[in-house]
Structure 1
């Protein structure tokens, strides 16, 4: 498996379309739950704005990340940042988890992690060694909390993921970070996603983001299409839609208040926007 981008599909979650399938900023599932659907082989692909942590607890696994092949015989965690080309091959006896983090959560975690945030920047495989019991407990807690709605769920999930990332950062020798992988296009996309997180409620046109990044609108759209499979405007709309769903599910704000929180000029416009992108009205989502 080579790391070139030509012909490499872009997914949110492997095998699914371009929509983030949950109102949460993370997704947790067992390795087997998805890989068994594809004959235990996940073909090479990439994610435009998602980070993944693959925790192989037991069972051999072959990992292909950015053109490098790693054969796992012992427990390990593979970190796959956004835009990295990757694929996996498992056997039916595989045990472990896949934890997927959306860009808004990663941006927040980077602010909270301080010097430990560098662990999110580059792909790396971390042998578990003597940390297996701790990681088993941590991943089981994430999976359990993810599976059931409960008060404080967002806060607890973010805290558990923080603990995991701090553990990973401590596995690197002091002062060492995974080797950098400079790529101008991916850097511009990452800067765009970070800028989007600050201004999506202001409904900036794509040209304003391009101007802030010092690039043309055409270039920004080309970067977004090439690396994420979506235009810049689609990424803006997907971020607004995700936040709308979260406000409808996790708060008691009415539709008018949600519309106002997200910077829409009129609730009727917000309702049309929401229905066009999600296929249902805000009220229907809340009832379901």
Structure 2
């Protein structure tokens, strides 16, 4: 089944119906990926999130435009509706756990870290044996029909989510206390950019909405992200342009118009400055982008 913008939407990859009466689905990574030549192409899920746990081998992970290579002892969170794809080495070992929305809605209010809301990769570190045991127990319980099976599945899932929530909070706690107010301003800016990036608003507009000066906003952005406020806005515009160029049949002119550019030529110059490629070149070879600063 295809989404409006051309990104396939599946229940599980390659399937349009949920294959089990459970609200949880568990399988090894090789089970599905070997059927597709070790590559799970770009897609998304409308009503479930996933946990990809790599125990051995290599996985090339793409989630919402961010690519990385992960290996043994890594746990990748794939939130609901995020665009993602994977490519695995043939010696890959690990698991994919899919959680339907009702499961997330049951546990999320109890978790302070909100671990399933953002695409994050967590390294097991000293907890690797613990995670191996949890995923092994979950898989064994999932494949058998024993008394209280559903309760045990939920218990193990709860333990996994608690582990993720604790690790998520640890990341936040690494930010120094004086940065907390600045992080709130940055979060506010991110929300405003998401609402208005097609409007080409001046940075003064964002600063006024947040209640700080332009200079202070730029200083916060550089301190916390290494980019200016304008670079943050432009980055969001470029991400949307890339999505439209890769996943839709819109002409370059239509993409430019949808992003608020008065002229296609100006959009093309803007896109090339950001990626090193013209929109046409990127559409033909999206992986060649050089992302100059």
TM tier, smaller? 0.5 to 0.7
Where do residues 229-240 of structure 1 align in structure 2 (5 Å cutoff)?
A: none
Task: Give the total of aligned pairs.
Answer: 177
Change (3 A) 1:176 1:149: same
Change (3 A) 1:74 1:144: closer
SS at match of 1:16: coil
Superposed CA offset, 1:180-199 (max 9, x none): 78568xxxxxxxxxxxxxxx
Q: Which residue of 1 aligns with 2:125?
A: 129
Superposed CA offset, 1:200-235 (max 9, x none): xxxxxxxxxxxxxxxxxxxxxxxxxxxxxxxxxxxx
Q: Following the alignment from structure 2 to structure 1, what is the Cα–Cα distance between the partners of residues 56 and 170?
A: 28
Q: Following the alignment from structure 1 to structure 2, what is the Cα–Cα distance between the partners of residues 73 and 150?
A: 33
Q: Following the alignment from structure 1 to structure 2, what is the Cα–Cα distance between the partners of residues 173 and 108?
A: 20
Q: Which residue of 1 aligns with 2:11?
A: 12
Q: Following the alignment from structure 1 to structure 2, what is the Cα–Cα distance between the partners of residues 133 and 65?
A: 26
- 2:33·2:40 contact (CA, 8 Å) conserved in 1? yes
Q: How big is the shift at 1:69?
A: 0.4
From 129, 136, 140, give the equivalent of 1:140: 136
Where do residues 237-252 of structure 1 align in structure 2 (5 Å cutoff)?
A: none
From 107, 111, 115, give the equivalent of 2:112: 115
Gaps in structure 1 of 5+ consecutive residues: 185-288
Q: How big is the shift at 1:106?
A: 1.0
Change (3 A) 1:134 1:5: farther
SS at match of 2:14: coil
- 2:9·2:45 contact (CA, 8 Å) conserved in 1? yes
Q: How big is the shift at 1:130?
A: 1.4
Q: Which residue of 2 aligns with 1:51?
A: 49
Where do residues 32-51 of structure 1 align in structure 2 (5 Å cutoff)?
A: 32-51=30-49
Change (3 A) 1:5 1:119: farther
**1:155 corresponds to 2:154:** no
Q: Following the alignment from structure 1 to structure 2, what is the Cα–Cα distance between the partners of residues 140 and 114?
A: 23
Q: Which residue of 1 aligns with 2:103?
A: 105
Consecutive aligned runs of 4 or more in structure 1 exceeding 2 Å deviation: 172-177, 179-184
Change (3 A) 1:11 1:150: same
- 2:138·2:153 contact (CA, 8 Å) conserved in 1? yes
Q: How big is the shift at 1:6?
A: 2.4
Where do residues 273-284 of structure 1 align in structure 2 (5 Å cutoff)?
A: none
Root-mean-square deviation (CA, aligned residues, Å) is 2.2
Q: Following the alignment from structure 1 to structure 2, what is the Cα–Cα distance between the partners of residues 61 and 120?
A: 20
Gaps in structure 2 of 5+ consecutive residues: 174-185, 196-293
Q: Following the alignment from structure 1 to structure 2, what is the Cα–Cα distance between the partners of residues 52 and 142?
A: 14
Q: Following the alignment from structure 2 to structure 1, what is the Cα–Cα distance between the partners of residues 79 and 155?
A: 20
SS at match of 2:9: coil
Q: TM-score, normalised by structure 1?
A: 0.58
Q: Which residue of 1 aligns with 2:264?
A: none
Q: How big is the shift at 1:7?
A: 1.5
Change (3 A) 1:154 1:71: same
Q: Which residue of 2 aligns with 1:89?
A: 87
